[in-house]
A and B are shown apart, each in its own frame.
Chain A
Amino acid sequence: MADTESTQEGAAEAELGRTLGARFASSFTLAILLSIVVVFTVLKGTTFFSLANFNNILLDTSQILMLSIAATFVIITAGIDLSVSSILILSAVIAAQSMIRFSGTPEQTAAYEFPNQHIGIPIGVVLGLVTGAICGLGNGLLITRLKLPPFIVTLGTLSVYLGIAQLLTGGTTVPGVPPAIQNDIGLRNLWPPGFLGIDFRLVPQIVIAFVIALIAGIVLSRTRFGRYTYAIGSNAAAARRVGINVDGHLLKVYTLSGFLSGIAGIFDLFRFGTASIGTHQLDNLASISAAVIGGTSLFGGIGAISGSVIGAFIPVVLRNGLVITGVPSFWQNVAIGIVLIVAVWLDQRRRSAEERM
C-alpha cells in the first residue's frame, strides 16, 4: 500500500513540471491584460482608470470567474463541461423557488411578505449549491459509468438541465424572490467606510469569488487532489496504472464544476434578485476560453488557476473599455475575438520556443 502511494506521488510529481510552464504563461497573459488596461487608460484617462470602474470590472468578472475555475479543473483532466451555463440557471431557479417556499406561507409570499426569510434564504442558497453539485455529479457518473466522452455528456445535460429549469418555471423568470437576498446580502458593502481613505464597493460576490479562486489555486498546485488532476489529464492510463482511482477523481472534478456553477447561480440572485432562464447561454464557451487564454491546454495536463483568473478578466476589461471608448457594438465583438486568438497564439509560440530549448 505504502509502495503504491509513493509511486502515485512520483508519477504526480513528474506532472508538476508542466504546471510551472502554465504558471509562467500566466505572467505572460498578465502582460496582455495590463497592456489592454494601459491602452484604455491612455485613451480615456480616469473615465476608465477609476476605482468605481474597477469595481464594475471586479463585479462583472466574479461570476464568469467561478465558471472559469470549474473549466480549468475539468479541462486539465482532458475533459470539458459545456453544461455549466445550464447548471448555473437551474441552481439559481431552485435557490429562488426554495427561498420563496421557505420564507412564508404561499399567501404571505404571494403578498410579497417573507416573515421567515432568515430561514428561507439560507435554505435556498444551500439547495441551490446542492443542486449544482448534484448536476455535476450526474455529469461525472454519465462520463465514468457509461464511458461516454465528456463533450457529448455535457452537451446533452446542457439541454437537460436547462429543460428542467424551464419545466420548473414555465419558461419565465422566477418572480417574487425575497428582496433581502439582493438588498441585504448581494448589495451589502463589506468595505469599512473610509478604510484606507478610499470609497470602495466590496460586495460579498467579489469577496467570495476571489477567496474561492485563491483556494482553488492552492488546491490545484499544492495538494494531492491537484496533482491527480494533472496526472489524469496527462495520461489517464498511466495514472490508472500507478493506482490513482481515475473514475473516482473525475467524479469529484465534475461535481466540483457543478458546485462552482451553483455558486455562480447564487450570484445571479445576489446581483439581480431574480433567476432568469434566457441568460448566460454563452457562459460555457466564455469560461472555456478564459481557461485557454490563461494557458490551460484543451488536451489536458496543463493549466493554472492564476492564468484562468487573468483569462476571465481579459474579455470583461475589453468589453468595458470598448464601451467606454464608444466603439460600436459589432466592432467590439470583432476586437474581442481577435484579442482572444492573438493571446493564445502568442502564448503557444512562446511555449513551443521553450520546448525547443
Chain B
Amino acid sequence: MVGEGCYPPAVRRLPAAIDEELHKGVDVTDLQRFRGMSRRDVLKAGTALGGGFVLFSAGYRPAADAQDKKFRIAFIQGVIGDNFYITMNCGAQAMAASLGNITVETQGPEKFDQTLQTPILNAVVQTKPDAIMMAPNDSKGMIEPIKAAIAAGVPVLCVDTTIDSDVQLADVSTDNVEGGRLAARGLADAIGKKGKVFVVNVQPGVSTTDQRGAGFKEEIAKFPDITFLGEEFCNNDANVAAQITAAKLQSDPDLAGIFGTNLFSAQGAAAGVREQGKTGVVKVVGFDAGPQQVQDLKGNVVDMLVAQHPGEIGEIAVQLLDQFLKTGQPIEPKKYVTGTTLVTRENLDTPESQAALYVADCSNYKLTGVKPTPAEAAATPSA
C-alpha cells in the first residue's frame, strides 16, 4: 500500500550515512552476520510470544524472494517495566515474527530520563542494528543523541514520544487530542451531559498530556449544560492530585466529573473523591489501561478509562521499518497515529475492550495486523 496513490513518492534525500548503511546491506559479510544471528533471535522472539500468533504468521509472511533478508531492529523503550511499553514491545515482536525477516531486541532506561536513555542509545548503536525504534525521553535533549546515532549509520524511528526535529524516519504515536475528546464524550455521557467538570493534568509542557487536556477542553465545550472548571497540574504526583481534588470539592461541592490525564492524575483524583465520601457521585475518567488502571476500574476507583493502543504502535513501527529496510525509500508520510478505546465497567468484558487492555507479558498479546494510518487521514473528526 505504501508508495501508491495518496502517498507521494519519496523525494527526500537520505543522509549520506544512512544511504551508505543501506547499500552496505548487500555486502557478503553482512549477510553472514544476519544469518549467524537469525536462529537464536527468532528462537528468542518465538519463546517470548508463545504460539498464539503462529496462525497469523502464515498470512503475513511475504514471498521468499531476493528481498527476504534478515533485519535486526533495536527497540529502546521510554522506561522499562511500564505496561504501555511492554505492550508496545509485544506488538513489535508479534509483527516481527509474522513478517519473519525481522528480529526486535529491546532495551530501556529505568527512569524516564534522557541522561539515562542516552548511554543506552549509544551502546545500542555500537551493536549496529539495521534500525532503531525508540520513545525519546525528551523532545529537545534527545535530538543530538539521535542525530549521533543516525550519523553512525543507524536510522531512527520515534514511537509514542518524539523529538522536535525531522531527522527521524517517522513518528508513530497515539492521537492524544482524540483521546482527550473521547474522555470528554465518555464523561459527558456518564454525568447525564450536565454539571461541573475539571481536568487534573500532569505538568505543563508535556506534549502528550497537554494534547489530552486540549482535546478534552475542545470537546466538552460542545455540551452546553456542562461547566468546565479548567485544569490543575499535579506534577505526576498522586498525592498532589488528591489535594487538588479535595480543594476543588470544597469550592465546588456539586462537582460532577474529573478527567485525570494519566495514571497518577486519575488515581489521585479518585483518592480525593473517595476521601470526601463522593465515590460514585463524582465520575472519574482515567487514561491508559494497564493492570493497575483496570483494577481501579473494577474496584470503582475510576469509572472509565481511555485506552491507547500501544501494541498497534509497535506493530506499525515494525511494518514501516520493514518497508524502509527492504526498499531503502524514505518513509512517507512521516507521521502515523493510532486510536483510543473507551473502556467502562459495563463494556469491560467485551472482546473490543479486552483487546485494548495492556498486557504484562507477551503471552497474552494477539497480533492485530493493523495497517499504518497517516496522521492526515486520521485528522478528520470521527462521529
A contact residues vs B (CB 8 Å cutoff): 44, 47-48, 50, 52-53, 56, 59-60, 63, 166, 170-173, 175, 182, 187, 268, 271-274, 276, 278-282, 316, 319-321, 323-324, 326, 328-330, 333
Contacts and interface: CB of A to CB of B under 8 A. Distances in A.
Given A56-B119, A172-B205, A316-B119, A279 B126 contact: no
A261 B46 CA distance: 47
Interface string B138-155: 111111110000001000
Contacts of A282: 111
Contact of B203 (A60, A172, A316): A172
Nearest to B120: A323
Interface stretch (B6-14, B102-110, B255-263, B332-340): B102-110
What secondary structure prevails in chain B residues at the interface with A?
loop
A155 B137 CA distance: 27
A166 B236 CA distance: 13
B144 A60 contact: no
Contacts of A171: 203-205, 233, 235
A47 B114 contact: no
Given A273-B140, A279-B113, 19 more contacts: A47-B126, A53-B126, A56-B126, A59-B122, A170-B205, A272-B118, A273-B143, A276-B138, A276-B141, A279-B115, A280-B115, A281-B111, A281-B113, A316-B119, A324-B127, A326-B105, A329-B109, A329-B110, A330-B81
A56 to B, nearest CB: 4
A271 B138 contact: no
B112 interface: yes
Given A171-B205, A271-B118, A329 B140 contact: no
A330 B123 contact: no
A56 B122 contact: yes
Nearest to A326: B105
B226 interface: no
A326 B105 CA distance: 8
B244 interface: no
Q: Which 5 A-B pairs have the closest CB atoms?
A: A172-B205, A272-B141, A323-B123, A56-B122, A329-B80
Given A272-B114, A281-B111, A282-B111, A173 B141 contact: yes
A334 B141 CA distance: 28
A272 B113 contact: no
Nearest to B164: A175
21 contacts: A48-B126, A52-B152, A53-B122, A53-B123, A56-B126, A166-B235, A170-B204, A171-B205, A175-B205, A272-B114, A272-B118, A276-B138, A278-B112, A319-B120, A320-B119, A323-B120, A324-B126, A326-B107, A329-B109, A329-B110, A330-B81
A274 B115 contact: no
B127 A271 contact: no
B188 interface: no
Interface size class of B (residues with CB under 8 A): 35 or more
A296 to B, nearest CB: 23
Contact of B124 (A60, A173, A273, A323): A323
A52 B126 contact: yes
Interface of B: 80-81, 105-116, 118-120, 122-124, 126-128, 138-145, 152, 203-206, 233, 235
A180 B109 CA distance: 28
Contacts of B110: 329, 333
Contacts of A321: 123
A316 B145 CA distance: 17
Contacts of A172: 203-206
A329 B113 CA distance: 15
Contacts of B204: 170-172
A328 B128 CA distance: 18
A44 B127 CA distance: 9
* Among B116, B141, B233, B235: residue with most chain A CB under 10 A: B141
Given A52-B126, A56-B122, A329-B110, A268 B115 contact: yes
A273 B144 contact: yes
A268 B112 CA distance: 16
Given A279-B115, A280-B115, A272 B108 contact: no
* Among B120, B126, B235: residue with most chain A CB under 10 A: B126
Given A280-B113, A330-B80, A274 B122 contact: no
Nearest to A282: B111
A49 to B, nearest CB: 10
A279 B144 CA distance: 17
Contacts of A276: 114, 138, 141
A217 to B, nearest CB: 25
Given A171-B203, A175-B140, A47 B127 contact: yes
Contacts of B127: 44, 47, 324, 326
Contacts of B122: 53, 56, 59-60, 320
Given A182-B144, A278-B113, A319 B119 contact: yes
A276 B112 CA distance: 11
B140 A274 contact: yes
Nearest to B44: A326
A69 B118 CA distance: 22
A302 B323 CA distance: 59
A329 B122 CA distance: 15
A50 B113 contact: no
Contacts of A59: 122
A56 B152 CA distance: 12
Contacts of A182: 144
A333 B206 CA distance: 28
